[in-house]
Amino acid sequence: MIEEEKCSFCGRSGKDVGQMITAPDDSNICKNCIEICSGLYEEDIPKESAELNIPDINIMPPKKIKEELDKYVIGQEHAKKVLSVAVHNHYKRLKNQKRIITDKNFKGVELDKSNVLLLGPTGSGKTLLAQTLARVLDVPFCICDATTVTEAGYVGEDVENIILNLVRAADYDLERAQIGIIFVDEIDKIASRTENVSITRDVSGEGVQQALLKILEGTVANIPPKGGRKHPDQEYIHIDTKNIMFICGGAFVGLDKVVQRRVGKQVLGFKRFIEEENTKVLDEDELKRDALLKTEPEDLIKFGLIPEFVGRIPISTALEKLTKSDLIKILTEPKNAITLQYQTLLGMEDVELKFEKEAIESIAEKAVEKGTGARGLRSIIEEVMLQVMFDVPSEKNVKECIITAETINGKEPKLIKKTKKKASKK
């Protein structure tokens, strides 16, 4: 009687498991046991996974990145340097992942990514810096608002929808999406505002911070392809966030007071003294920025961010409040300056638009009074140009439009009309 072949590992017969591999000593192994054994050693094999197949990235040295930022962002020299170095190191790490693993000189050192936190008042250029970086590097970019996100299971957006926005920006090219940049705005609004223990859950504050932890650090997130709530039966898009760079921004109103209390500076009064090697008096805006530049992790924790969240954003920098001279430069120098945009729009109607120097200064002064930074410039010019943009396309005889300081204060702009050619006498 011929003995029935059995797997030497699991003991099942050939009838149950199908064809088996037989060794010279007549021992057998079935397909199921082979798969189990291969899985045991999978973790020990260097992974040549999708993370090594990094798409082409335009890696530039930090100085070159800052030069590109200078074309669009006025001022904020320190913030631009911090971002340039952080972005250069991040994408250099991605580009050389395979080299780090295989090159004996690097000894297999693991390089962690560095997310960035931007502190600064509204209209100082936080969003513009992130947008410009993504455009310069030609990587997918998206902006999301932290205030719309709630803890999983509650009404509002899930944290994973942040990643979905990036996937959409990459046209569902998952390899490109996994090396993109996400700008999380209003990050200060998810701070826990009280240290008292409440009987209710903080589902849009501390709960969101906890939900963001793994995504910031790096995890394989399950994304619903069409957004919305998760359902057990639906298929998910799997995105590894380990190579996605997160730039978080917020105004952090009141953080300067927290820093001043820690360093023992005077909090009351219109003018304050900073005790340095050369004691000097700083005005209100300079003092706030000076305090934000000295921000330590413990200050952010006192403000309401949990320690685990602060630890995952190791780089922070403060942006300055824009001065009148900065706003004047913003109106005229960048490639996307609002005055150049209107000149282009009227140029399409064959009308030359001119802004007098005094008019530019008046716009900047009004924006300073409003306290909304660069955002205030557009609202002022929109109001001034409303009637011009309404009338000029209908009038075909306008040659030139001049915006004066009086125009900014309510008077009508100067419209120079085309001179009619005199009919020649025969």
Confirm whether 296 is domain-assigned: yes
Instruction: Kindly calculate the radius of gyration of the chain based on its CA atoms and give it in whole angstroms.
Output: 30
Confidence check: pLDDT of 148 > 90: no
List, for residues 216-273, the tens digit of each pLDDT value.
Answer: 988 888 887 776 666 666 678 888 898 899 999 998 988 888 888 888 755 444 444 4
Percent pLDDT > 90 in the chain is 19
Beta bridge partners of 250: 119
List, for residues 202-214, the tens digit of each pLDDT value.
Answer: 555 787 888 888 8
Is residue 43 very low, low, confident or very high in pLDDT (cuts 50, 70, 90)? very low
- Mark whether 41 and 82 lie in a shared domain: no
- Mark whether 307 and 256 lie in a shared domain: yes
Confirm whether 422 is domain-assigned: no
Q: What tokens were used for 101?
A: 């693993």
Domain boundary pick from 15, 30, 45: 45
Confirm whether 425 is domain-assigned: no
139: closest CA among 98, 200, 95? 95
CATH number of the domain enclosing 203:
3.40.50.300
- Mark whether 206 and 191 lie in a shared domain: yes
Looking at residue 19, its pLDDT comes to: 76
Angle, CA of 103, 107 and 112, to the nearest 5°? 100
Is residue 314 a contact partner of residue 86, using CB atoms and an 8 Å limit? no
End-to-end CA, the chain = 128
Domain boundary pick from 274, 300, 318: 318
Domain boundary pick from 284, 301, 318: 318
- Mark whether 341 and 291 lie in a shared domain: no
- Mark whether 65 and 115 lie in a shared domain: yes
- Tokens 């899930």 map to which residue? 158
- Mark whether 249 and 367 lie in a shared domain: no
Q: Which range marks the domain in which residue 145 is found?
A: 50-318
Determine the 3-state secondary structure of 355 from DSSP.
strand
List, for residues 268-324, the tens digit of each pLDDT value.
Answer: 444 444 444 444 455 676 777 778 888 899 999 999 899 999 999 999 898 888 888
Q: How far apart are CA 245 and CA 116, in angstroms?
A: 8
Kindly provide the b/e burial profile for residues 398-423, where b requires at least 16 CB atoms within 10 angstroms of the residue's own CB. Answer: beebebbbebbeeeebebeeeeeeee
Confirm whether 189 is domain-assigned: yes
Is residue 30 a contact partner of residue 39, using CB atoms and an 8 Å limit? no
- Mark whether 260 and 308 lie in a shared domain: yes
List, for residues 44-101, the tens digit of each pLDDT value.
Answer: 434 433 344 666 777 889 999 999 999 888 888 999 999 999 999 998 888 877 666 6
Is residue 318 a contact partner of residue 292, using CB atoms and an 8 Å limit? yes
- Mark whether 345 and 396 lie in a shared domain: yes
Q: What tokens were used for 37?
A: 């054994």
Q: What tokens were used for 417?
A: 């009309």
Helix axes of 375-391 and 338-347: crossing angle, nearest 10 degrees: 20
- Tokens 């798969």 map to which residue? 35
- Mark whether 112 and 206 lie in a shared domain: yes
Q: How far apart are CA 22 and CA 96, in angstroms?
A: 43
Structural domains of the chain, count: 3
Q: What residues have CB less than 8 Å from 21, skipping those under 6 apart?
A: 28, 29, 34
Per the prediction, the chain carries an average pLDDT of: 80
- Mark whether 307 and 336 lie in a shared domain: no
Confirm whether 424 is domain-assigned: no
- Mark whether 99 and 203 lie in a shared domain: yes
Q: How far apart are CA 371 and CA 378, in angstroms?
A: 13
Looking at residue 206, its pLDDT comes to: 80
- Mark whether 105 and 61 lie in a shared domain: yes
The residue-averaged pLDDT of 401-417 equals: 86
Is residue 149 very low, low, confident or very high in pLDDT (cuts 50, 70, 90)? confident
Q: How far apart are CA 321 and CA 326, in angstroms?
A: 9
* pTM, to two decimals: 0.73
Higher pLDDT, 193 or 137: 137
Looking at residue 268, its pLDDT comes to: 46
Q: How far apart are CA 375 and CA 123, in angstroms?
A: 5
Q: How far apart are CA 159 and CA 234, in angstroms?
A: 18
Confirm whether 214 is domain-assigned: yes
Give the torsion through C-alpha atoms of 64, 122, 134, 92, to 10 deg: 60
Confirm whether 114 is domain-assigned: yes
Confirm whether 297 is domain-assigned: yes
Confidence check: pLDDT of 115 > 80: yes
CATH number of the domain enclosing 375:
1.10.8.60
